[in-house]
Structure formats: C-alpha cells, structure tokens
Amino acid sequence: MKKNLFFIATIITTLILVACGSEEEKSTDKEKKVETSSDVTGKTIEESDIAKLYTSPKDYKNFNYEFIGQVFTTPEKDKDGTYLQVYADPENNEYNTIVGIDDPELVVSDGDYIKVKGVVKDVFEGENMLGGTILAPMVKASSIEVTDYISAIAPTLATIEINKPIDQHGFVVTLEKIEFAKKHTRVYVSVTNNTKDKISFYTHNMKIVSGGSQFEGIYEYDTGYPEVQSDLLPGITTTGVVTFPAMDPATAELQIYAEGYSDNYDIDIEPFVFTVAK
C-alpha cells in the first residue's frame, strides 16, 4: 500500500532521532569510548561528492553534511523536534533530503531557504506518485539557520552604492545601488510621485548599457525580491529590485536607462539616464 512519502519519512526520522538519544543514554562509559567507522566516520561530504550522495546515499552514512536548501513541504513537529523535506539543489528542485533536528521550537516555513549542518544518519527509500523509486538521505541536523534567497542562491560578489535621484517635475527616480552576483545583476531603484497626477514606471523598459552591449531586464519568479509598483498615485513611493543578466563585477562604467510617464500631458518626461562609474 502506497503511503505519503513525507509521512513515512517523518516517522522514520523521528525514530532515528529518538533511537539515537536512547542509545546514547544506555551506553556505558566503556562503550562510549569505542567508536568504529560504522558509528562515526569523521568525514565530510565535499562538493564533488554531492551528486553521488543522492544516487548512493548509503555510502555516506555518518558523513558530516553541510548544505543550503529550500523547504518544500509544511514542516512537521512533535515534542522532540522539527522534521523537514528539503531540496538541497533548490535552483533545480532536486536532491530531496529528509532533515530532522532536536528543536521543536524551530521557526521555519514551507519555502524558506535554510543552512543545514548535520550528519547523514540513514537512507529513506520510497515511491513517488508516478511509481518511481526515491532515495533520500536522512540528515540529523545539529543546526538549521533560516536565510534568504540572496545568501542561498545568488551571493553578492560586488556592490556599487549610488543613491542618486533624478527629478523631473516631481517624478523622482532614485538609483540606490547595484549588486553583482554570479547568477544575475540586481538594480535597486525607488520611484516617488511628488506630482499632482498619476505616474507610471515600467521596469520591463529598463536597460543597462556597458562595453558596447545592451542588457534587458529578466524576471525570476522565485527570488522574493520586492517589485517596483508600475502605477503610482500622488504622494506614493515604491521601492524594488530589478534583475538583469550576470555582468562582470569588475565593470568600471555603465549606464542605466529607465522610462516613465505622467497622466499630465502638458509635461514631458524624458528617459531617466544614470551614468555609473567606479
């Protein structure tokens, strides 16, 4: 009879954590002094081992494992701990991992990015909804830290602080900063409507020009970055992040183009052009 993968995994994880605690309590001093490779390896899973971990997880039992992943189901809790299903490769929704920690008060939610430190204690083998076999390492965590998308997926390599406003008739666009990452480039911008009319600002019209190349904005739905509102009533300010393709962090000069419109057709709003030089 097929059962829910996470339900089974949670039970097994709970049993593992409880069993580990019971065994430690029952061990004599003599037994505690004797550790074999089947108990503790002292080895750590390296970057080059990760793919092999998920095809042959039994080979890595009792290995130390540190990774950044994303929770993809509602966490389960009992009086002893918190139990999670995590993608250790969140960009590709791969490397299903069962994680348990002796902390029933851990604050974590479905969709959170987390940093995990722990030990591979066992392997879960189950069946997905399509009838395929699933192998998932089961990790007893010593620590779990909730983090954000930038820290987990797109760490900042270099930052240019700018904080430059351009004001046209009370239509104010401020380029706050630019962050370079391996995955993409982040442009932080704010727009303020100090006019008496509604204004519009469309981030999909923004462009970066550098080294004779033009970069268009890209949309990534899973970043969690704040988005700039497109239509602003008088007195409103909006702030957000616009992403572009990855650029060389050593870029010395670039220009950012943005466009805006006002419902007052008696005024002309020219393109907002920011020249940025280190």
Same domain, 136 and 164: no
C-beta contacts of 216-222 below 8 A and 24+ residues apart: 216/244, 216/245, 217/242, 217/243, 217/244, 218/184, 218/243, 218/244, 218/245, 219/243, 220/184, 222/149
For the entire predicted model, the pTM comes to 0.76
* Residues, the chain: 278
Same domain, 66 and 168: no
Q: How far apart are CA 127 and CA 136, in angstroms?
A: 11
The single residue listed with the structure tokens 């940093």 is 115
User: What is the pLDDT, as a whole number, of residue 125?
Assistant: 82
User: What is the pLDDT, as a whole number, of residue 147?
Assistant: 95
Same domain, 53 and 131: yes
Say how many CA atoms lie within 13 Å of 228 toward its Cβ.
29
Q: What is the mean pLDDT of each run of 10 residues along the chain (278 residues)?
A: 41 42 38 37 88 93 96 94 95 94 96 96 80 86 96 95 98 98 98 98 96 93 93 98 96 95 96 94
Same domain, 130 and 224: no
**DSSP assignment letter at 197:** S
Same domain, 117 and 163: no
The single residue listed with the structure tokens 């083998």 is 125
Assign residue 41 the CATH number of its domain.
2.40.50.140
Assign residue 244 the CATH number of its domain.
2.60.40.1240
What does the DSSP assignment read for 216-274?
Answer: E-B--TTS------SEE-TT-EEEEEEEEE---TT--EEEEEE-EEES-TTS--PPEEE
Same domain, 86 and 192: no
| Residue at which a domain ends, from 82, 113, 148 | 148
Residue 192 is part of which domain span? 156-277
Same domain, 25 and 132: yes
Enumerate the β-bridge partners of residue 53. none
Same domain, 178 and 141: no
Read off φ and ψ for residue 11, nearest 5 degrees.
Answer: -60, -45
Same domain, 24 and 127: yes
| Residue at which a domain ends, from 148, 171, 191 | 148
**DSSP assignment letter at 102:** S
Same domain, 94 and 197: no
Same domain, 177 and 125: no
User: What is the pLDDT, as a whole number, of residue 38?
Assistant: 42
**DSSP assignment letter at 34:** -
Same domain, 205 and 228: yes
Q: 153 and 183 in contact (C-beta within 8 Å)?
A: yes
Nearest CA among 120, 116, 101 for reference residue 67? 116
Q: How many domains does the chain have?
A: 2
Enumerate the β-bridge partners of residue 241. 188
Nearest CA among 275, 54, 14 for reference residue 162? 275
| Residue at which a domain ends, from 83, 117, 148 | 148
